Structure 1
Amino acid sequence: MALLNFMRRDTAAPVTGGLDDLLAGYSIEVMPRTAEKVEDFRDILPRGTRVYIAHIDGTEIDDMVATAAKIAGEGFDVMPHFPARSIPDAATLADWIARYQGEAGVTQALLLGGGIATPRGDFDNSMQLIETGLFDKAGFTRLHVAGHPEGNRDIDPDGSDHMVMQALRWKQAFSERTDARMAMATQFAFEAQPIIDWADRLQAEGITLPVHVGVAGPAKLQTLIKFAVACGVGPSLKVLQKRAMDVTKLVLPYTPAEVLADLAGHRAARPDSLIEQVHVFPLGGIKTAAQWVTENTGAAGLPARRAANG
């Protein structure tokens, strides 16, 4: 195991507030091919938004780094995915880190197992990426990991969450002995209660990593169901299936309004909740998602250009 030189971090203060507060500071996800369709992210996103860059298996690292450089150059915090099973060895990981840092000034990463079942090389999970010590050596200050409120059958095929919880305890221990700023970005879900119950359970078991709740942005119902099945969304999928049976709702686009209202209510009642903010999966398009958030928040949600112009 590599020596990890991150120093012990300070504990963040709890957050409070309603829907505006929950959506303020939201993060959003893009892929290189969707980022190409956005002329300037300052036209659609608030200043300082964290933009995750999803690394879908088969995407060239050149495209990933170019996307990171473009978005960072427009003034946004960039957090690229590092999918463990798609990275063949430590030399490749070191090269990716150096390129992201040298060409785009990146100092934060989302570490995850990745979407393929069989590893391409030496890595199978995010803990192995951390253990290389390469992110520490490069001076990365923020490391996010994946969270699974409804379980993950790729990790726990038996339907339990034994392996997922074991990994979370490891990551919690790592966060306690370092100054790496960590959080869990969760898979998107369509119902608030499973997320709330999961966050409460983690807290009861001594997990204190902040939770950035994944929600699906506005999209056609058929599109969401397709993505939900492909991504292994759990029991909350029934919310979409029930909606699909209602002809009056079938033609209306889904929005995360109900989920977010429930989460905001919970956090207002429980200011010590692990739920810190929202991470948006723009399954119906990034411009559509960003516009919806802007329309449902106050001035803090204004795109960077519009805010700068008053």
Structure 2
Amino acid sequence: MALLQFKRKDTAVSAPVAPEVEAFLKGYSIEVMPRTAEKVEDFRALLPEGTRIYIAHIDGTPIEDMVKTAARLARDGYPVMPHFPARIIKDEATLADWIARYQGEAGVEQGLILAGGVAEPVGAFHSSMQLLETGLFDKAGFKRLHVAGHPEGNRDIDADGSDRNVMDALRWKQAFAERTDAKMALATQFAFDAKPIIAWVNRLQAEGIALPVHIGVAGPAKLQTLIKFAIACGVGPSLKVLQKRAMDVTKLVMPYEPTDVIAELAAHKAAHPDFGIEAVHFFPLGGIKTNATWAIENAGASGVPAAPAAAS
């Protein structure tokens, strides 16, 4: 085991870090929103150099706020990946305007292309595939395009609980990846159990879907908070992990941490180097600082922030 030592708030902290965990968390990404980013005084004191930062676009958030957040993060030296949710984009002209603003004001060249969680589209777009088909991202020279993945299914697409339509969409996205110059990957919904994740990634590979997976992991948070988000986001079988924890009075008041699921996935990746998970993507449901601090304390060299506090 590697031994990480660093100074934080004038306190020396030492944490043993398994090499496979350190390797698995190398190059992790994290998600913010404009309102949560505003609460962070200095991202460089929390996140490693080069951390990809997704900016979630929630319905009702002005594009001006999204672009302002992207520009701030880009000035700090971080690659920015804003969400492009199809169902809140009115038309092709709006999409072209968003792309132009992001590029002109923040130098953005990456995007997460997804349907979005709105039930009724505001315009003609209702799927990520329609956005990709416009050709606007290729025309703008985007270097990386991520699309959504759902290890435990997506009832918005397959209401019967099957994954027939989801798999058809993934095959379409695989074909699109083969004809675009942009690098593509699947950024997934978060889950709490490694087993269904491993089974899903293995199935993708068996089906010939070679898109690398950036696996979604919920960061540390109160158990009640995670259960609320998990139900709202349609998390499937692994929700039982949280429900079982909630039944244990000794654990009910303790914050959830992703230590176990990360360790199991990391061990599997170390034993199977061709396993399709390429990176970890954190959903900081308990706060950005809380999530980043967990990574600093549990990821070894992979969690060291860009501008760590000076030793006293």
Q: TM-score, normalised by structure 1?
A: 0.93
Alpha-carbon spacing, 1:105–1:288, altered in 2? closer, same or farther (3 Å): same
1:37 to 16, 25, 39: 39
One-letter amino acid matched to 1:90: E
- Kept in 1, the 8 Å contact 2:149–2:187? The answer is yes
Aligned to 1:176: 178
Aligned to 1:254: 256
How many residue pairs get aligned? The number is 294
Aligned to 1:287: 289
One-letter amino acid matched to 2:36: T
Q: Distance in 2 between matches of 1:289 and 1:107?
A: 26
CA deviations 1:146-205 (Å, max 9, x no partner) are 000000000111111111100100110111223210010100000000000000000001
- Kept in 2, the 8 Å contact 1:189–1:233? The answer is yes
Is 1:72 paired with 2:74?
Answer: yes
SS of 1:283's equivalent in the other structure is coil
Structure with a larger share of its residues in strand: 2
Aligned to 1:97: 99
Q: Distance in 1 between matches of 2:78 and 2:88?
A: 26
Is 1:149 paired with 2:151?
Answer: yes
Unaligned runs of 5+ in 1: 1-16
CA deviations 1:92-138 (Å, max 9, x no partner) are 00000000000000000000000111111010111110100100111
Aligned to 1:219: 221
Shift of 1:24: 1.1
Q: Distance in 2 between matches of 1:307 and 1:244?
A: 36
SS of 2:266's equivalent in the other structure is helix
Q: Distance in 2 between matches of 1:192 and 1:25?
A: 20
Alpha-carbon spacing, 1:99–1:21, altered in 2? closer, same or farther (3 Å): same
Stretches of 4+ moved more than 2 A in 1? none
CA deviations 1:20-77 (Å, max 9, x no partner) are 0111100000000000001121111000000000001111101000000011110001
* Equivalent residues in 2 for 1:1-310, closer than 5 Å: 18-306=20-308
Unaligned runs of 5+ in 2: 1-18
SS of 1:304's equivalent in the other structure is coil
One-letter amino acid matched to 1:175: A
One-letter amino acid matched to 1:158: D
Query: Mean Cα displacement is larger for which, 17-26 or 270-279?
Result: 17-26
Alpha-carbon spacing, 1:181–1:307, altered in 2? closer, same or farther (3 Å): farther
Q: TM-score, normalised by structure 2?
A: 0.92
One-letter amino acid matched to 1:44: L
CA deviations 1:221-249 (Å, max 9, x no partner) are 00100111111111110110010000000
- Kept in 1, the 8 Å contact 2:45–2:309? The answer is no
Aligned to 1:11: none
Shift of 1:269: 1.1
Q: Distance in 2 between matches of 1:248 and 1:40?
A: 35
Shift of 1:291: 0.6
- What percent of counterpart residues are identical? 75
